[in-house]
Structure 1
């Protein structure tokens, strides 16, 4: 009886999540796609056509996570040749703007989705993954794949909460990898690089800019108001094309994900870097004067003043 690998993925409504769910299904792997917007969307229907299982999932809701895990568990119980191979913690949010501008709810939601959501989903599936790893008689290790970010490796201005959440994801991944090495269970960080133009991750940035401005006091509005408006307008124009759920076409990102998913003994980190990312992020590692680092960051971000 041939073994069928099962992979559960969060945040599959668009962008990277939809692309990796689609590719996982095309690899002939049993794919369970967590959909924040539900299972009656075009994105969900397209995944179903690829034989993926779609299921509603909100990674900030413990009951939703439990139901998602139970659905995967039923698939495993109903199909003796199915084996849990991986969970992929992809669900994520990002709000761009100085930390002082952001409301408590913006900061809390960033941490709740990106870090605590990853932790809660991992906790839900960890016993099953550990057992799968201990029972593993195949060549390929079961694994946890956490979607990280360059911002977790090198924090950037306007990305404080996001950087903190992704740095936490990287630390969590390293700790899990050390804890479960003896079980044959691996934990992997996947850093996909920049893909904002093919994602909806900052689709609400215009409204978020308005929300930032409204919650500031009069002194803050006077000091920051024009800068917030300028940055919000710039980011709105950058995302005005409204990418569809299947806009992610970067084969380098998708193929690197496939390696993280299928390598028999996966590395601790898989990272995709354009030459621009490679150049700037390696310069930022050097012990350069702080003023020069600040200049480099401004050149890299290219945000309006």
Structure 2
């Protein structure tokens, strides 16, 4: 039986591309011959990544140093495409940008929490809305949103992060249903613990499953696209799937205590 050809987008947008899962997606997509729009705040890192990828893979990288915590990210990104890429509609949008603040809500700077919601929730909605419309009009395209196994339970000590990923999960499922009849693929990749700079101030917390290399997450997402018919959520790793599935059968209070212990904040929260 012949193998299905790999998904090879001509143009991909990757947010949060300066490190971690975003950089891993950029490298994997470059290896597939996709031109890239690299989005993050740290322009120096984006330029370094662009230099790393362009010549070896014969692609074009467009660097877009944007702060996704500010309103208007979709319009700003459209302006980049219009001015530097002749208004090309991307074949793939990877909504990866995000971060997690650790600590009690009552002890956290309100501005920092607002920024977390803006990046992890509002920017996902804004960018998805910005690009799903032209994809539907064209009759093709894909949007991949990065969720998390944290979406399956409340997490004291990372309350906003877990809630934001639950939002991303449910938003993606609904958008999957809406876009599917029009030839547009929408799905979420829900990794467990990932070895990256993701967490606020780079602190790594205990996790119920092993930390994964970001490249494995990117590979799982692209392999899902290779299958052409993706479910609304892809969760890499049997241990991650088992842990997420088990939350359906554990009383909420027990989940709260367990999650609090994992974030090493139980004594502070009680």
Q: Shorter chain as normaliser: what TM range?
A: 0.7 to 0.9
CA contact (8 A) 1:96 1:159 kept: yes
Matches within 5 A, 1:125-204: 125-133=131-139, 136=140, 142-195=141-194, 198-202=195-199, 204=201
What is the Cα deviation at residue 23 of structure 1? 0.6
Q: Residues 146 and 237 of structure 1: is their aligned pair in 2 closer, same or farther, counting only changes over 3 Å?
A: closer
Q: Taking structure 1 as the reference length, what is the TM-score of the superposition?
A: 0.71
Q: Aligned runs of 1:270-281 on 2, under 5 Å? A: 270-273=234-237, 275=239, 277-281=240-244
- The whole-number CA distance in structure 1 between the counterparts of 2:257 and 2:72 is 46
1:151–1:159 CA contact under 8 A, matched in 2: no
Note the C-alpha offset of 1:280: 3.8
Q: Does 1:18 align with 2:15?
A: no
**Which structure has the bigger radius of gyration?**
1
How far the C-alpha of 1:236 sits from its partner, in A, is: 7.5
How many pairs does the alignment contain? 251
**Per-residue CA shift, 1:267-288, capped at 9, x if unaligned?**
211112363x445433332144
Q: For structure 2, list consecutive stretches of 5 or more residues without a partner in the other structure.
A: 1-7, 207-211
Shift of 1:121: 1.2
Q: How does 1:103-122 map to 2 (within 5 A)?
A: 103-122=109-128
- Any stretches of 5+ residues in structure 1 without a counterpart? 137-141, 206-234, 239-247
TM-score between the two structures when normalised by the length of structure 2: 0.79
For residues 101 and 109 of structure 1, what CA distance do their matches in structure 2 show?
15
Superposition pairs of residues 90-105 of structure 1, within 5 angstroms = 90-105=96-111
Over 6 Å off, 4+ runs: none
State how far apart, in whole Å, the 1-side matches of 2:253 and 2:204 are.
31
**Contact 1:11 1:92 (C-alpha < 8 Å) held by counterparts:** yes
Contact 1:9–1:21 under 8 Å retained in 2: yes
Cα distance in 1 between the residues matched to 2:244 and 2:204:
26
1:69 aligns to what?
Answer: 78
Give, in angstroms, the shift of residue 163 of structure 1.
Answer: 1.2
Q: Distance in 2 between matches of 1:260 and 1:112?
A: 28
More displaced 10-residue stretch of structure 1: 115-124 or 259-268 = 259-268
CA contact (8 A) 1:39 1:56 kept: no
CA displacement 1:247-302 (0-9 Å, x = unmatched): x8455322201123433222211112363x445433332144834x4554356445
Q: How large is the Cα RMSD of the aligned pairs?
A: 3.0
Distance 1:71 1:159, change over 3 A: same
**Matched residues in 1 for 2:169 and 2:251: separation?**
24
Select which of 224, 243, 248 maps to 1:285: 248
User: Corresponding residue for 1:245?
Assistant: none
Q: Distance in 2 between matches of 1:61 and 1:303?
A: 30
CA contact (8 A) 1:56 1:68 kept: no
Kept after mapping to 1: 8 A contact 2:147/2:188: yes
Is the CA contact 2:67–2:73 (under 8 Å) kept in the aligned structure 1? Answer: yes
Pick aligned residue for 1:29 from 34, 37, 50: 34
Match runs of 1:193-232 below 5 Å: 193-195=192-194, 198-202=195-199, 204=201
